[in-house]
Amino acid sequence: MLKLKDISMVVGNDQGENREIIRNINVEFEAGKVYGITGPNGGGKTSLAKLIMGIYMPSQGNIYLQGQDITPLSISERAQLGIIYAFQQPPRFKGLTVKDLINIARPGIDNLHLRSTLRDVGLCPEDYLDRDVGPGLSGGEMKRIEMAQTLAREAVISIMDEPEAGVDLWTIQKLIAVIVGRYKKNPRLTTIIITHNENMLHICDEVLVMENGMLVHRGTPEEIWPHIKDEIECKMKELCSGDIAYEIR
Amino acid sequence: MKLDEIQTNLLKTIADLEETPRGAVNIRIDGTPVMRHSSPGIQITPKLDKPGFDLVVAPGTKGETVHVPVILTKSGLKDLVYNSFIIGEDADVTIIAGCGIHNSSHMHSQHDGIHEFILHANSKLRYVEKHYGEGEGKGKKILNPTTTVHVAEGATIEMEMVQIAGVDDTVRKTTVHIEAKGYVKMIERLLTHGAQHAESDVEMYIDGAGGSGQVLSRSVAKENSAQVFRAALIGRSDCTGHVECDSIIMGDSKIKAIPQLVAEDARAVLTHEAAIGKIAGEQLIKLMSLGLSEQQAVDTIIEGFLR
């Protein structure tokens, strides 16, 4: 379905030095499965997602969607082929409403579907459909509106970047139920969730752990969890600053 | 009244008029009033000493909408009109104005509207004015509205002034006086492109205690166009006022935004916000990730911003 072959990405810093932030990633994502990507902050998870969406371009390697090399394609072209990326920090738009954005994500969406999509992310349609996606919304509201667009689009490849961030526990459970009910085992859809949330990870068919731009572990949630737990304890000892890279259940 | 296709389209664009509206109406085409009707609550009569009309809303009139659009399709025409809008006590009405110019020649077409609004005590008015220009000629489409507004005790006016597109040159001057417990909300939305030039100069005097005024401006300047927006709030009592100017700048355009606050009474609470910036890259990326092309994303952002 989606294949990343020998993907690397190098970025330059202010001092003119190059740093490889994605290192030789080889991975395939199959249809009908939910994948989790986790790992410490700065490990390359969001960069990998942006490479798939076409927001970043790889320094080397190729990305294939259903056998087609999409590496040279633009963001719009990849979106039209069926990839969507739910941003970790979605931008705000003065003057565009929630309804506008969902209509862009899913042109011609009927009113019933539109309203149920908002309910799926824990938002009351009456209160939100005509709200500006502007500065008046909280981070948590923005996040849920972002997820609503992703759910409405039902893309063949959905990448959700920390859908739990800033969202209340009740909504996280609701989102998990929607992902399990609608995406998991859907033979048409592939779902990739970047997450630090154990409950999210446990609904995944497979979990990939990224660190220093590399894929360091891969397996079922049960297989991976001990590795992540060790990492957490290790990181906490290293940091000793209260900066917790993982959310612990 | 028989209209040609250009006139019909202009009326649709600036005043949403597709058929003769019910109730009071005044339509001016190429310097001549071509349709004028009054209603029991709204009387429109021509001025005797100069071009224009007096529109008088009887006290207590509620829920009526009156259309007073102006269109120019004759090239080289310079139209000057003086209109007075007098809103009686406790009335609550809507006025849909607007000016559209079609100019396909090398000569300039110009409409200067001198408007006076007098709102009596506790009256309420919603005023919508759209400006639009079209036509391939090199002659300019020029619109210069000068407006004075007097808001009596407890009266409210919401003014929505929109420049849709195609106006080459505009200088808008607006002066507002607000008495005790009066409220004014003025919304300006402006799009300039090509080599267009737009200036708006607002002076809002909040004279009475409990008076409140808001000036909200959103504009987009494209290509080589230039905009100047100046809004002064003068608080002369125990009052509140807010100015907000927010602009998107594109291409080689220039924007000058000058919010000004003047407190002449220690109890006045006046605030302002101003921002000029280009379309954020992340906004474009976000809309492109939903399948829009870059140009569609730009158009969507601008359309929403100016809505």
How is chain B split into domains, by residue range?
Answer: 5-280
Structure confidence at residue A249 (pLDDT): 34
The answer to whether the Cβ–Cβ distance between A94 and B286 falls below 8 Å is: no
Residue A93 lies in a domain: no
Give strand pairing partners of B260: B232
Q: B174 with B147: CB under 8 angstroms?
A: yes
Q: Tell me the two tokens of residue B253.
A: 């355009």
Core vs surface per residue B170-193: b (16+ CB within 10 A) or e: bbbbbebbbbbbbbbbbbbbbbbb
**pLDDT averaged over chain B?**
95
Please count the structural domains in chain A: 1
- From the CB of residue B258, how many other CB atoms can be counted at a distance below 10 Å? 14
ipTM of the complex model: 0.91
Residue A232 has pLDDT above 50, yes or no: no
pLDDT in tens, A119-131: 999 999 999 999 9
Q: What residue of B is the nearest CA neighbor of A81?
A: B291
Residue A106 lies in a domain: no
Q: Tell me the two tokens of residue A53.
A: 């969406």
Taking contacts as CB-CB distances below 8 angstroms, the residues of chain A near B285 are: 55, 75
Structure confidence at residue A244 (pLDDT): 41
Whether this model's pTM surpasses 0.95: no
- Crossing angle of helices B294-305 and A98-105, rounded to 10°: 160
Structure confidence at residue A242 (pLDDT): 42
Structure confidence at residue A57 (pLDDT): 97
Nearest to A104 among B292, B306, B307 (CB): B292
Structure confidence at residue B151 (pLDDT): 98
Nearest to B285 among A75, A80, A96 (CB): A75
Structure confidence at residue A234 (pLDDT): 52
Residue A59 belongs to domain spanning:
2-88+153-239
Q: Where are the alpha helices (DSSP H) in chain B?
A: 5-15, 281-288, 294-305
Please, which residues have CB within 8 angstroms of residue A40's CB and are 6 or more apart in sequence?
A: A211, A231, A235, A245, A246
Residue A134 lies in a domain: no
Residue A34 lies in a domain: yes
Q: Tell me the two tokens of residue B151.
A: 């808001």
Give the count of Cβ contacts less than 8 A between chain A and B. Answer: 58
* Average pLDDT score over residue span B64-72: 95
Residue A111 lies in a domain: no
With H, G, I as helix, E, B as strand and everything else as coil, classify residue B27.
Answer: strand
Residue A55 lies in a domain: yes
Q: B298 with A89: CB under 8 angstroms?
A: no
pLDDT in tens, B225-269: 999 999 999 999 999 999 999 999 999 999 999 999 999 999 999
Kind and range of the H or E element at A60? strand A60-65
Structure confidence at residue B47 (pLDDT): 96
Taking contacts as CB-CB distances below 8 angstroms, the residues of chain A near B305 are: 93-95
Interface with B, mutate which of A50, A56, A75, A160 (most B CBs under 10 A): A75
| Least confident interval from A165-179, B177-191, B195-209 | A165-179
CATH code of A157's domain? 3.40.50.300
Residue A248 lies in a domain: no
Structure confidence at residue A248 (pLDDT): 36
